[in-house]
Amino acid sequence: MKLKAFVVGLGLLCSFSSFAATELRYGVEAEYPPFESRNAAGELEGFDIELGNAICAAAALKCNWVETSFDALIPGLVAKKFDAINSAMNITDQRRQSIDFTQPIYRIPSQLVGKSGSAVDATPDGLKGKTIGVLQGSIQETYAKEHWEKHGVNVVSYKDQNMAWADLLNGRIDASLVMSAAGQAGFLSKPQGKGFGFIGKPVSDDTILGSGIGFGLRKGDDATKKQLDAAIDKVRTDGTIDKLAQKYFPGIDVSVK
């Protein structure tokens, strides 16, 4: 009887493991259009949402979404609250100390958004004495603190980007450093973005800004990485990534060099 119970229990465990392997829980911060946000009906939408669903389909996985703040994504992944981070997270050496990544999927430049015709310039000297808003836990925050804060620039971090846009509108900050696609679709293309625009050229620092955007994975989760990398290859080859980029980021080259 004990042997029979053991065999039955083992069978149930294998069955459960097989079932679990067909699902993927994405961690997402849903306050960053056009990458991820909620529409008027309360549904998740955006580039990363459609991309995540397409990659799940290519890997024969069922998608589930777990929302949290951006700075809580890596701790949440490590704590196994979800299986992969899908929230426009750039692959950097600093983040690789805590987590692994899939291959890079796409890349978006980072740029300042501020009042058109303002005296703000995207250099340490041009920003001295100015206040710049950034998303808490983002590479833009790291860049601004490393390249600008040390030169007398006030860097303010926000839990979500919409809070930064609100403070830009009411004059509490002079500009916000964001991924250009988020600045265009999330602010500049909206009525409230009238009178604002991009300032200077995109900033550059591959060490901080990374090699592109991928899905964050737990250290040592080689099986998930292999499965998702293969699915990423499929959606790149069939043109899905390019089609979604044209839909959400028209005119922006998102290819990984």
86 vs 201, higher pLDDT: 86
Give the DSSP letter of residue 246: H
Mean pLDDT score, 182-190 = 92
Mean pLDDT score, 229-251 = 95
- Region at 44 (left for phi over 0; alpha for psi -120 to 50; beta for the rest): beta
pLDDT tens for each residue of 138-174: 999 999 999 999 999 999 999 989 999 999 999 999 9
Query: Which residues, including other chains, have CB under 8 Å from residue 227's CB and lie 6 or more apart?
Result: 59, 61
How many CB atoms lie under 10 A from the CB of residue 88? 23
pLDDT of residue 20: 43
| Complete domains list, the chain, with CATH | 21-107+211-248 (3.40.190.10), 110-209 (3.40.190.10)
Mean pLDDT score, 178-197 = 93
pTM: 0.77
Report the half-sphere exposure of 80 (CA within 13 A, side-chain side): 2
